[in-house]
Structure 1
Amino acid sequence: MVSCIAVILYPDQTYKQMKTRMHWKEVDPEAYKAMSTLETYVRNSSLDKKLMDLVKVRASQINGCAFCLDMHAFEARKIGETEQRLYTLAGWRDAPFFTSQERAALALTEAVTLVSSTHVPDDVYNEAAQYFSEKELVQLILLIVTINSWNRIVISTRTLPQLR
């Protein structure tokens, strides 16, 4: 079992050592299997793989999940996503590098990720429905739900990214 430790430098120059709280996959392999089953469904969906990584990175940005940001940005680069698009993803509304379909998916990602305050407005949903079939919308929503679930598990257990 590998123990992860990270050191965070705060603005006042104090350090806080972060340690993994729990290796949840080892504690409850069935829970990991359940999440992996949903992840496999999403990964095998008809959605574009680059779009899927953009959604995963954007939700992870909103949730502040360092582990998932590291993983999905790395995976996106491996399949040809550009650094420029990844660098500007948090400001996608003002960046000219994203298609209309990607913008609709990113707006839906933000609305679903922040569901307690947005309640997924009709205009956001309807915009996505212009670019995705009903089945693709189901897949997109499940993609967003899945990455949000991973974010919440990883943040709660403080699973830390590793140096590559």
Structure 2
Amino acid sequence: MSTQLSREQFYAQQPEITRSLVKLYEASTRKFDERLVCLVLLRSSQLNGCAFCLHMHDEHARRVGETPDRLAQLAAWHEARCFSERERAALAWTEALTQLAIQAPSEAQKAQLAEHFSVEEQVNLSALIVTINGWNRIAVGFSFTPGE
């Protein structure tokens, strides 16, 4: 008997969890440009080493018009000049919330976020980051296969 839980088994075992994560994603992304959403999803997935989510969100990013050049530079966004100040603030916040175990968000990161995002957007962006971190942990924990 296999102890490896498949993606389908995970979803079937507790469908309310899946629906809840999808609803949280939908609620948090309604007012954001899809390309910004994709950058956040991809950066968090890079940091968490989630190949399943990287594959899925890379395809999504390309479908909504993200360029291969920007996607290639995302892991080094600190040095890349192709990201706007708003995108940089979102990526910095993504890293801060994704890496809480290393260090809490700094006052400078909070100020940068507030400079480029309304209070409502800050809440929504944070909820989006919570959502992708949840999905990353599920996908990595149960070894979901990219392209499934």
TM norm structure 2: 0.92
List aligned pairs for 1:47-126, cutoff 5 A.
Answer: 47-126=32-111
- Alignment correspondent of 1:31: 17
> SS of the counterpart of 1:119?
coil
Q: Give the CA RMSD over aligned residues.
A: 1.4
> Would you say 1:40 and 2:26 are equivalent positions?
yes
For the residue of structure 1 that corresponds to 2:78, the secondary structure is helix
Which structure has greater strand proportion? Answer: 1
CA contact (8 A) 1:57 1:68 kept: yes
Higher gyration radius (CA)? 1
Larger displacement relative to structure 2 (103-112 or 154-163)? 154-163
* Unmatched tracts of structure 1, length 5 or more: 1-18
- Counterparts of 2:19 and 2:141, CA distance in 1: 18
Secondary structure of 1:47's partner? Answer: coil
Structure with greater contact order relative to length (CA < 8 Å, sep ≥ 6):
2
Q: Partners in 1 of 2:17 and 2:89 — Cα distance?
A: 32
* Counterparts of 1:116 and 1:149, CA distance in 2: 15
Question: Are the counterparts in 2 of residues 20 and 160 from structure 1 also a CA contact under 8 Å?
Answer: no
Q: Runs (4+) of structure 1 moved beyond 4 Å?
A: none
Quick check: 2:56–2:147 contact (8 Å CA) kept in 1? no
Percent of aligned pairs sharing the same letter: 40
- How many residues align? The count is 144
Cα distance between partner residues in 2 of 1:135 and 1:28: 30
Q: Which amino acid aligns with 1:36?
A: V
Give, in whole Å, the separation in 2 of the partners of 1:20 and 1:103. 38
